[in-house]
Structure 1
Amino acid sequence: MQTKVIYIVFISLVISLISPKLSAQDIRTSKKSLKSENKAITNSIQTDSLIKNDTIKNNSKSTKQKQKLEGIVKRKASEYEKFDQKNKLLTLYNNAEFHYLDYELTAGIIVFDYGKDEIYAGRYKDSLGNYSQRPVFKQGGQVIEPDSIRFNTKTKKAIVWNTRTTYDEFKIKAEKTKKVNDSVYYMKKIQFTTADDIDNPEYYFQTDKAKFIPGEKVITGATNMVIAGVPTPLGLPFAFFPMTTKSVSGFIIPSFGDNNLRGYFLQNGGYYFALSDNYDLTILGDYYTNGSYRLQGQSMYAKRYRFNGNASISIENLIESEIGFPDYYTAKNYNVQWTHAQDAKANPMSRFSASVNLGSSTYFRQSMNTQNVGAALNNTLSSSVSYSRTFQTVPQINMSLSATHSQNVNTKQINMSLPTLQVNVDRIYPFAPKNGSKKGIIQNINLQYSVRGENRIMTTDTLFFKKEMFNQMNTGFQHSIPIATNFKVLRYLSVSLSGNYNEVWYLNTVKKYYDEVQNKVIDQRVNGFDSYRTYNVAANVGTTIYGTFNFSKDAKIQAIRHVMRPSVSYTYTPSFEQYYDTYAIDANGTTMEQYTRFQTGIFGAPGKEMSNMLGFSLGNNFEAKVRDDNSSTGEPKKVMLLNTLNFNTSYNMTADSLKLAPLRVAAGTQLLDNKLQLNLGTTLDPYAINSAGRRIDVLNINNGGSLFRMTSANITLNYAFSSKDALFGNSGDTSDNKNVQNGGRADDLFGQATDLSDRRKSMFNKDGDEKDDEGFKGFYNSEIPWDLNLAYSLTYSNNARNPEIVNNSVMFSGNVTLSPGWMVGISSGYDFKNKGVTYTQLRFERDLKSWRFDFSWVPNGFYKQWNFFIGIKSTILQDIKYEKRNAPDKIYR
């Protein structure tokens, strides 16, 4: 990878060679100039005139050498082959093919002068005077397609007329190319472009002369840009470019513009360091005239069959308004991102991975260089770095070591584990037979062992990685030994019995006491080893019941199947009062309260109350067998009517009141060929509430109410469909790859993210393939691709006789291709509770083949702004662009 500079465009000079070599001097021409119509070798070609005109001279040694072939000549021609032994000429006419040494040549006419070791090739001229069968010359990996070519197989010198070739993303056309030796090439009247059609490009760069030294440099004369055949004043009087096939370091040209909050700016300028074939480093920066700036370091690394990843660190200093003004504001933000993925073939017994996204809580809401509203509205940043290893012992042992981070950007609260150690010993069946299946309650007895050690930190972003953060760290270890077995009762009832023993070690506990001086209760942190032990037993009985309702085979619905999965569970947990102490809450010491010194522990505290809990659950789903009129076999198809309909509740037999827990009901289904996802949920409380809104130990039905009191309900609906769906007569095949970087949404309901460092990417086509392979079908026979995402959410709450709609909103996002190349999109919604339009983004894009134009506009809200861009899509010419944007009127604080 080499530096991408706006004028790197001229690198295309490299392309127009048989092998990579050029030269920047005037090409010496003979006194008899070649007319364009005579530059092609036709059926009336005269060998002597070609030799006189711009003759390729052999060195003295070659003339003294014996004239003989150095390899086997393979040739073919459809009209005739002529062998002239006297003049040592081989002529192939019409659809000629010639293979000699490492050269491959096809053309209309080929003449091989083996006496002078020269090959001549040109186009075929038919009876109407039309030329066809352009020469195609291949040597190694080089391919050129000129009008005619002359090549010396000994000296490797060549003259090529009207050559067309491709180098990387460049298409090159040169009127004349002369290869002097392996180190120097000359070219004259050159056009180079990234357009697909070299003969009719949307734009190209033009220069009269150039010199190319392969692997070293390119020197050009005056060069200017031509758009739609019209020359422009954009260009340079001369240019010099270092050339190499390896990655090289170099400067990155910044983009420029103005921002209504921070003044004029230079953005995304810096330096690229090509450190190695396996890793690199990019240093980028922004500077604004009001003093705001940003520094960013990016690195990508990879090792084949081992791992790959990338890292990024950004630091920003934001300034708004001027010192002394009431709206003056400054902020320092940072963000760290790191992703690492290990190849599955690298080591099957161990694995290392990382996904890190941490930084200032306001980074994505204030950042100068990112416009991802999905990330700005995201409330959580999270990170995870983990290493796992499997030990092939008997029993097998799995170990993992991880560090996690979770950050709420609204409350600025950070939860971290640095690190977490998890060791699991595989399940052991001590009474199972060595051969055969396990049967019965005894043979199915199994046990495991696991230990989890963790350092957990709760802090805020202002104390992040400061001394105060580590002073609040809690450390603990949890040992767990579960024992279980299962068996069948009455053939259809599945019974499982289990018991669990836990032992927890803490290095930090708490002591509560009343301080008479401060007149309050003090929570004193106590450092030192302490531990507690708990256990419980549980049993579960469940089964599966199938019911089928059959209808007529001629009916549309032939049968409905109902599957029920009822289960009853029992859990007993004794009281662990021995771990509880008392403390006074007043100065007299007459009022005492209980507490446990383990209550701030990261694995919780032992329970003081004994629990005898009965749990009840019932799962349901409904499926229909429907006649399939499109089936060739006549077999009906299965349709899911209701994916889930679940009921859950519990009863605490030892509680002194409110023994019955609220009933939770949840249902979900998919409709319209799985395009519509519908989820429902509600909570039903059997107990009544008093005038203060508190639950009382009286059933609601006995208090003059209904059997249950609905305390909450919610419904979510998501509908995604497009013109590609089978619902609209298509195959239903979709391959959209949505961008969710930095927390953006995949459904575009919060609009499309904008990468300000690379605006070449389409807002509509996430696969990067923006070509219409089928071409234009006509105004009245053209397809109009479109897609639409809908999301609706409603939440109802009625906990204490204060019913309210907590949330009631609809959001949508859609894109339409109005005609080949013209695309528009919109993301918006409406909040029925607050009676307002939600975040709205309008998108417009025009595919100009080699170029791309887009305009996005946020007309309302806090993120009100617009962005305009037009530029070349090619990677090597990405700096040839113009962009303009208007930032939000005020940054988020």
Structure 2
Amino acid sequence: MTLQKTSHNFTKIAFIPLQTNLFNIVLISFFLTFGFSNLYGQEILQKRTPLAVLKQTDTTTKPPTSKAKPLVAAPLQDSATIKVDTVVSKKAFLDGILKYKAKQYARIDQKKKQITLYDTAELYYQDIELTSGIIILDYQKNEVYAGRIKDSTGKMTQYPNFKQGSNAVQPDSIRFNFKTKKALIWNSRSDQGEFRIKADVTKKENDSVYFLKGARFTTSKNIDHPEYYFKTNKVKFVPGKKVVTGLTNMVIADVPTPIALPFAYFPMSKETSISGVILPSYNDSNSRGFSLQNGGYYFALSDNYNLTVLGDYYTNGSYGLSMESSYAKRYRYRGNVNFRYENLITSERGYPDYSKQKIYNLQWSHSRDAKSNPNSSFTASVNLGSSKYFQQSINQANVGSNLNNTLNSSVSYSKTFNSVPQVRLSVSATHAQNTQTQIINMTLPTLQLSVDRIYPFVGENGVKKGFLKNINLQYNLSGRNNIVTTDSLFFKPQMFRDAKIGMQHSIPLSTNFKLFKYFSASTSLNYEEVWYAKTINRSFDPNQSAVVDKVVNGFDAFRTYSFSSSLGTTIYGTFNFGQDKKIQSIRHVLRPAVSYGYTPSFEKYYDTYATDASGTMNKQYSRFEGGIFGAPGLNNSNIMNFNLSNTFEAKVTDRDSTKVAAKKIMLLNNFNLSTSYNLDANGTTALKWSPVRVSGGTQLFKDKMNVNFGATLDPYALNNSGQRINTYNVDNGGSLFRMTSANMTLNYSISSTQKDNSKKKDQVERNGGREDDLFGRNTVQNNRNISQFDTEDTEKEDSVSDFFTAKLPWNMTFAYSLTYSNNNREKKITSNSIMISANTDLTPKWKAGISTGYDLVQNGVTYTQLRFERDLLSWRMDFNWMPLGTNANWGFFIGIKSGVLSDIKWDKRSTPNR
């Protein structure tokens, strides 16, 4: 036996003595001289069969030689005969190179056929990596053993870490056979997807099958002391695929619960998602009875798209069906589709409060990556369905969407043709639905075509300077199929019969130039031609004793033209107060602009009709009235528009004395005044001036508060009937202007940390609700595993010191709205409300939030929601309560965070009493 140096990292398996000494040489020579025995280059254990003599040769003339050759078993020859060893050399038991090292020593025992590695031992062979405190390799039995060692205090340290391919195990000790690939593992710990598995004894049958005894499964990060786990005694485990167990019991806080299953199946696919059953949740309602909600099946159709089918059933006969699908292709597109249908029955047939209705909602969102095709794009944002869906749906409590009065949709495709000049084409379909009046306005579709500007007078150098060279013309085409309908007629034949089709062509000819060096001037001449597929013929019908419009099908068109011009400049003013002042200077920027527009009368497109049976009273009308692009004007339009925009900015001394430069702050982002003057207004009843519109806005407190305000100032007075008259208000004993309306809004958001604005839109925003949570957070029953708060979950343990030293995050949103009306001397505040939303962490694991408000006009509390949430490490518990209004309800949820075990939950929510 020889001592192998610890610095050696490689060894061969066919071991022979690598060194000789003088004693061995003398001993071998003695036996060769006297011929008492034959000497062989290898030891034959437990074998006494004589070796066959293949050849005898007289070699007395040639002295024998003997030299040991490592790694090869070579027979020695005497002076008379040569005997060939017929024993076949054993093949090395390892097929590859074995690498190993250790911190204290690596010892080779030739007698026991073992290699011992001690302290921070490492062994590498093919796809096997083994690290441990001690490793013993028995190359005769083709086995390796790894275990822990004791430190100076007697504590067991350096646990083994066995990794084969992508499977890793951290046991107390392991015994592995290289030939059979079988292993025995004691107290193994391994991660499989979201699961963490610990077993008392593990038997590795082959590369793909394990048998476990005394195993526990959990999604907790602390495998040795989990807050919950599933305990079972017999397990068959296929890594990356599945786990099949015998009797399984759920243990919470080391206390066995009565929750047990005779057998259990846990999928552990390496794929991103797998198909499976979604267990329903139980609920009850006073008006619909007991129910099972959101049960169904999840289809993992491919890596690019999936499908979830869910259903609800109530004992009174109500039911709901929904389909949800998400799809994506990297660098190409992504989107999702949600559809839900509900058949709602309230109370029982024969009772006075019995009712039955059918509601539905369709949502589709699609976006395409601009890199896939820079010359074209396709987007979709669809939200349509029954007008009362969000108010009546039994599957969600969505206050933000419930208060929204409109549903909007848009699907568009655009393409750019890289021709000269460039041509842009877009086709879109839009949808606008008023949930109060149930009126739906759709364009199905809208066609837009535009040809890029053409500069006919630009020279070869391409310079566009001056009046002549800046003259350009375009061509624009707009075609629409407009449909106005209601919920009851949506997608029925009458909806399409009432459609209005039209096409508008326009050719604007324009130019811009500098005037007197400081003024920017522009002028344009626009030609339009409108095509309609339907017109009207208005007349008095004596049978109905009323004026009726008869639809005339057939192509018809009208042509108009108009002229416009504008002149504007920018004026800068600075008021300096001195460098030693707190406010060093104020900068005022004015942008006055004057524009003029003229459109002549197109009386030739007007006819007359009788308003009564006598035919003596006639009125003018245009057969193009009611068209989607309107009708040509009957009177001249000769209007002068005035606009003045202002911005105010200040330079102030920075509070930080180390900074030399002054700090710029914005006083007013914008302050605009606009009005117009009608040059053709004549007569005592004609009003030349339009009301002055004042609007502005600014940001305060380091841009945390947004302030916006507006007002309408009318220069004309009112008569006793409340009508505007051609008399200035100042001449009627009043002020210069009469304020007819005013509004102001304040929005203030603060938080203890920087708010992340890059988060994706939640379901409230996709439904058309507010971006903030002033009306509360959305709660959808099939999505309760997601936190109600924006803060990230943590796995940190609570402690007394954490409670007093931790910086608890919080955020608050404040909104104030005021509207004043004085159109008819009512001087009334029509809207005055305050809304507030706040979220905070009461402790590192407790979160709380509130959304509420008060209406100062109605003297009542607005929609209020209280939110609480507790982080239970692997579990999450939350409670939300809306105590007021028609949507008053409460909900409680506790469940496992992991998506693999998302069906292990208790979800209870009251039904809103609508």
Scaled by the length of structure 1, the TM-score of the pair is 0.89
Q: 1:764 is paired with a residue of what secondary structure?
A: coil
Q: 1:440 is paired with a residue of what secondary structure?
A: coil
Deviations 1:790-843 (A, max 9, x none): 111111111111221111111111111110111111111011111111111111
* 8 Å contact from structure 2 (residues 601, 634) kept in 1: yes
What is the match of residue 230 of structure 1? 255
* 8 Å contact from structure 1 (residues 736, 765) kept in 2: no
Q: 1:778 is paired with a residue of what secondary structure?
A: helix
From 592, 597, 602, the equivalent of 1:566 is 592
What is the match of residue 352 of structure 1? 378
* 8 Å contact from structure 2 (residues 511, 522) kept in 1: yes
Call closer, same or farther: CA 1:884–1:216 in 2, change over 3 Å.
closer
What is the match of residue 743 of structure 1? 768
From 499, 519, 536, the equivalent of 1:493 is 519
Deviations 1:359-378 (A, max 9, x none): 00011111111211101111
* 1:629, distance to aligned residue in structure 2 (A): 3.3
Alignment partner of 1:96 is 2:125: no
From 662, 668, 677, the equivalent of 1:642 is 668
CA RMSD for the aligned pairs? 2.0
Q: 2:731 is paired with a residue of what secondary structure?
A: helix
Call closer, same or farther: CA 1:625–1:129 in 2, change over 3 Å.
same
Equivalent residue letter for 2:699: Q
* 8 Å contact from structure 1 (residues 830, 837) kept in 2: yes
Matches within 5 A, 1:392-541: 392-541=418-567
What is the match of residue 889 of structure 1? 913
What is the match of residue 865 of structure 2? 841
Matches within 5 A, 1:592-607: 592-607=618-633
Alignment partner of 1:872 is 2:896: yes
From 605, 609, 632, the equivalent of 2:635 is 609
* 8 Å contact from structure 1 (residues 625, 638) kept in 2: yes
Alignment partner of 1:154 is 2:179: yes
From 553, 578, 589, the equivalent of 1:552 is 578
Q: Return 5+ residue gaps in structure 2 as ranges.
A: 1-87
Deviations 1:486-530 (A, max 9, x none): 111111111111111111101111111000000000011111111
Equivalent residue letter for 1:720: S
Deviations 1:528-565 (A, max 9, x none): 11111111111111010111111221222221111000
* 1:325, distance to aligned residue in structure 2 (A): 2.1
* 8 Å contact from structure 1 (residues 109, 124) kept in 2: yes
* 8 Å contact from structure 2 (residues 193, 268) kept in 1: no
What is the match of residue 333 of structure 2? 307
Alignment partner of 1:121 is 2:128: no
Equivalent residue letter for 1:859: P
Distance 1:815 1:736 in 2: 17
What is the match of residue 681 of structure 1? 710
Distance 2:332 2:226 in 1: 43
Equivalent residue letter for 1:287: Y
What is the match of residue 111 of structure 1? 136
Distance 2:268 2:840 in 1: 43
* 8 Å contact from structure 1 (residues 839, 861) kept in 2: yes
Q: Which has the higher contact order (CA 8 A, sep 6+)?
A: 1
Call closer, same or farther: CA 1:335–1:74 in 2, change over 3 Å.
same
Equivalent residue letter for 1:698: T
Alignment partner of 1:755 is 2:777: no
What is the match of residue 167 of structure 2? 142
* 1:668, distance to aligned residue in structure 2 (A): 0.3
* 8 Å contact from structure 2 (residues 278, 903) kept in 1: no
Q: 1:877 is paired with a residue of what secondary structure?
A: coil
Deviations 1:748-805 (A, max 9, x none): 1110000210211111126x54556999853332222211111111111111112211
Equivalent residue letter for 1:667: G
Structure 1 stretch displaced more, 623-632 or 384-393? 623-632
What is the match of residue 807 of structure 1? 831
* 8 Å contact from structure 2 (residues 646, 670) kept in 1: yes
Equivalent residue letter for 2:717: A
Q: 2:196 is paired with a residue of what secondary structure?
A: strand
Equivalent residue letter for 1:306: R
What is the match of residue 195 of structure 1? 220
* 8 Å contact from structure 2 (residues 193, 270) kept in 1: no
Alignment partner of 1:665 is 2:694: yes
Call closer, same or farther: CA 1:113–1:333 in 2, change over 3 Å.
same
Equivalent residue letter for 1:346: S
* 8 Å contact from structure 1 (residues 744, 753) kept in 2: no
Scaled by the length of structure 2, the TM-score of the pair is 0.87
* 8 Å contact from structure 1 (residues 750, 827) kept in 2: yes
Call closer, same or farther: CA 1:215–1:142 in 2, change over 3 Å.
closer
From 758, 764, 767, the equivalent of 2:789 is 764
Deviations 1:1-23 (A, max 9, x none): xxxxxxxxxxxxxxxxxxxxxxx
Distance 1:386 1:775 in 2: 55
Q: 1:757 is paired with a residue of what secondary structure?
A: helix
From 848, 853, 865, the equivalent of 1:829 is 853
Q: 2:517 is paired with a residue of what secondary structure?
A: coil
* 1:150, distance to aligned residue in structure 2 (A): 1.8
What is the match of residue 363 of structure 1? 389
* 1:145, distance to aligned residue in structure 2 (A): 1.1
Call closer, same or farther: CA 1:600–1:777 in 2, change over 3 Å.
farther
From 728, 734, 737, the equivalent of 1:699 is 728
* 8 Å contact from structure 1 (residues 538, 571) kept in 2: yes
Call closer, same or farther: CA 1:267–1:105 in 2, change over 3 Å.
same
Equivalent residue letter for 1:386: S
Distance 2:794 2:492 in 1: 49
Call closer, same or farther: CA 1:80–1:554 in 2, change over 3 Å.
farther
Alignment partner of 1:851 is 2:875: yes
Deviations 1:198-230 (A, max 9, x none): 111111110011123457754311110110110
Q: 2:774 is paired with a residue of what secondary structure?
A: coil
What is the match of residue 884 of structure 2? 860
Distance 1:850 1:762 in 2: 13
Structure 1 stretch displaced more, 623-632 or 852-861? 623-632
Call closer, same or farther: CA 1:682–1:216 in 2, change over 3 Å.
closer
Deviations 1:329-367 (A, max 9, x none): 211101111112212222112211211111000111111
Call closer, same or farther: CA 1:559–1:772 in 2, change over 3 Å.
farther
Matches within 5 A, 1:9-28: none
Q: 2:696 is paired with a residue of what secondary structure?
A: strand
Distance 1:514 1:80 in 2: 114
What is the match of residue 303 of structure 2? 277
* 8 Å contact from structure 1 (residues 255, 268) kept in 2: yes
From 148, 152, 156, the equivalent of 1:131 is 156
* 1:242, distance to aligned residue in structure 2 (A): 6.6
* 8 Å contact from structure 2 (residues 192, 240) kept in 1: no
Distance 1:306 1:312 in 2: 21
Call closer, same or farther: CA 1:394–1:665 in 2, change over 3 Å.
same
Equivalent residue letter for 1:262: R
Deviations 1:819-878 (A, max 9, x none): 011111111101111111111111111111111111111111111111111111111111
Q: 1:468 is paired with a residue of what secondary structure?
A: helix
* 8 Å contact from structure 1 (residues 261, 321) kept in 2: yes
Matches within 5 A, 1:715-726: 715-724=744-753
What is the match of residue 51 of structure 2? none
* 8 Å contact from structure 1 (residues 67, 116) kept in 2: no
Q: 2:401 is paired with a residue of what secondary structure?
A: helix
Equivalent residue letter for 1:836: G
- State the identity %: 59
Equivalent residue letter for 1:841: Q
What is the match of residue 4 of structure 2? none
* 1:119, distance to aligned residue in structure 2 (A): 2.4
* 1:632, distance to aligned residue in structure 2 (A): 5.0
Q: 2:651 is paired with a residue of what secondary structure?
A: strand
